[in-house]
Amino acid sequence: MKNFIIENDFWDLFPNAKIGVVICHGIDNTVRNEEGYLDMILRAEKEALKYLQNDEFSKNEVIKIWRESFQKFKTKKGARSSIEALLKRIDKGNHLGTINPLVDIYNCISLKYALPCGGEDIDTFVGDIRLTKAVGNEKFITLGTDKSEPPYEGEIIYKDNEGAICRCWNWRESLRTILTGNTNNAFLCIELTDEKRQVEFENALKELETLVKNNLGGETQISILDANNKNVQID
């Protein structure tokens, strides 16, 4: 049995945060309709422009909120939230390509609702997955490198018994746990630090679950974790 557990040291920093989880079992993540996913991405990119009304990129509300959140813990220089990275590409007029259905789906939801979304392959986890402060010795190899770059002590990370899964909360993920065309069981999450956006957060979770079920089949379950509900079983 594997669980997702959010440790108290996270809640000490973000007492009002919410982490939405969609657990997916028995899905088919093979690519069958690349053009359909490209169209979905293009629509999401257009919708995302409404979050970039200020010409000065850093002054847009979504960007400000997540930069303030990242200032509360030790981060690698230049690390930004995943939603900032996506919106920056859109702001510069660059398009996202397709990766695989699950990643394309959560990228679309991330853009449409301007919330960080991510996902990992449950079958690659070693023991429980935790959102917590790093000790600083966790193994971490990201896409495009073969060198381990452990997180800083005190950095907010997702981790399991083998090492870090995602550094700087939602900045970079481990090559070891990424979603692939062979993924059958997936852990998807959406992160909220702005309490004013509870409705959008819940809508994003529901739409994420619906898109997975309609496109990839399988069984899905939504859970919302907060300071009063800190763990959920994921397998």
pLDDT range class, residue 178, cuts 50, 70, 90? very high
d(CA 188, CA 129): 12
Amino acid present at 56 = E
> In this model, does residue 206 exceed pLDDT 90?
yes
The pTM assigned to this predicted structure is 0.96
Q: Dump pLDDT digits (tens) for 121-169.
A: 999 999 999 999 999 999 999 988 889 999 999 999 999 999 999 999 9
DSSP string, 30-80: --S-HHHHHHHHHHHHHHHGGG--SSSGGGSHHHHHHHHHHTTS---TT--
Across 165-189, average pLDDT? 97
Across 95-105, average pLDDT? 96
Low-confidence winner among 18-22, 27-31, 48-52, 205-209 (lowest mean pLDDT) = 27-31
Structure tokens of 1? 């049995």
Structure tokens of 93? 């007029």
Quote the domain boundaries for residue 122. Answer: 3-233
Across 158-187, average pLDDT? 98
At residue 34, the pLDDT reads 86
Across 198-224, average pLDDT? 97
At residue 39, the pLDDT reads 96
Whether 74 contacts 14, CB under 8 Å: no
At residue 46, the pLDDT reads 97
Across 227-231, average pLDDT? 97
CATH code at position 68: 3.50.40.10
Kindly report the three-state secondary structure assignment for every residue of 71-92.
CCCCCCCCCCCHHHHHHHHHHC
Q: Dump pLDDT digits (tens) for 22-50.
A: 999 999 999 788 899 999 999 999 999 99
Sign for the CA dihedral angle at 228, 128, 157, 179 comes to negative
Give the count of domains, the chain. 1
Residue reference for tokens 């069958």: 32
What percentage of the chain has pLDDT greater than the value 70?
100
Mean per-residue pLDDT of the chain? 97
**Residues 6 or more apart whose Cβ sits within 8 Å of residue 118:** 82, 106, 166, 170, 173, 188, 189
At residue 144, the pLDDT reads 84
Distances (CA, A) of 154 to 10, 79, 125, 142, 174: 10, 15, 22, 19, 18
